[in-house]
Amino acid sequence: MKIAFIGDSLTAGIPGSSYFAILREMLPGHTLINLGRGNDTVVSLHRRIVRQRLSNGQFDLAFLWVGVNDVGGEGSRLFRVANILRRQPRAKNLDEFRTYYQRVLDLLCRHARRVIAVAPLLKGEEIDNEWNHQIDILAKAIKNLTAHYERAGYLDLRPAFYQKLAGKQTSNHLPESPLRVGWDILTLRNDAQVDAKAAQRGLHLTLDGVHLNSAGAALVAEAFLEVIERQSD
């Protein structure tokens, strides 16, 4: 199978630990293509895949994983400046999010035999914070949109993460600035270093409240693998 992973830095697996590297080792007989890009929003992702002009029927399966960057929560105005400079604006409201997400689904359903729309994950490991409530709203919108597409399915990774976080002391740690994210990319070279930094920040499944550590990457890889195996049958 030819499988595409399309979305933001969570899709790319940078910074932090990479679910994609795990899948690549587990699926040597498949062609895996990572089209993740750091800081992408649903608006900038749509613009990017329009520019790429994907050919019809290019993929057997495509995972679409975007939305966390359309939710606020960072502690620095540098993030907003970075969004402007990179031309990666957030959706202005829920209606605009739905509009652009639908446009992305329209495109991908023409370029893949099957599309799996993945709900945004976490913004801080404290599940009940206001940012994760916003993510819940986006996830419900994605689920409702996906139901209208014969070629599309919906995958929510959050229940598996919630189960692992249950009973643990959680943190609302989030990246302080794009510079901090860049520093993590430069200095954290392997899973052991990622996990040590996550533990220092009081985190269990993520490096910084958004991007994955090795435990979080393993959960994502396991969920994606189940979908891929079902499609291969």
Give the pLDDT confidence of 84-114 residue by residue, as tens digits: 556 678 889 999 999 999 999 999 999 999 9
Which tokens is 48 given? 């990017």
- The predicted pLDDT at position 161 comes to 98
Distance CA 69, CA 74 (A): 10
- Structure-block tokens of residue 35: 């089209």
Q: Are 128 and 68 in contact (CB under 8 A)?
A: no
pLDDT of res. 231: 87
Enter the pTM of the model: 0.92
CA separation, residue 88 to residues 51, 80, 212 (Å): 14, 9, 22
6 by DSSP, 3-state: which?
strand
Per-residue pLDDT of the chain (233 residues; tens, 9 = 90+): 999 999 999 999 999 999 999 999 999 999 999 999 998 999 999 999 998 877 656 899 999 999 999 997 555 565 665 665 566 788 899 999 999 999 999 999 999 999 999 999 999 999 999 999 999 999 999 999 999 999 999 999 999 999 999 999 999 899 877 778 888 899 999 999 999 999 999 999 999 999 999 999 999 999 999 999 998 76
CATH number corresponding to 2-232: 3.40.50.1110
What is the model's pLDDT at position 177?
Answer: 77
Q: Where are the alpha helices (DSSP H) in the chain?
A: 9-12, 19-26, 42-52, 77-86, 94-111, 130-146, 158-165, 178-187, 191-200, 214-232
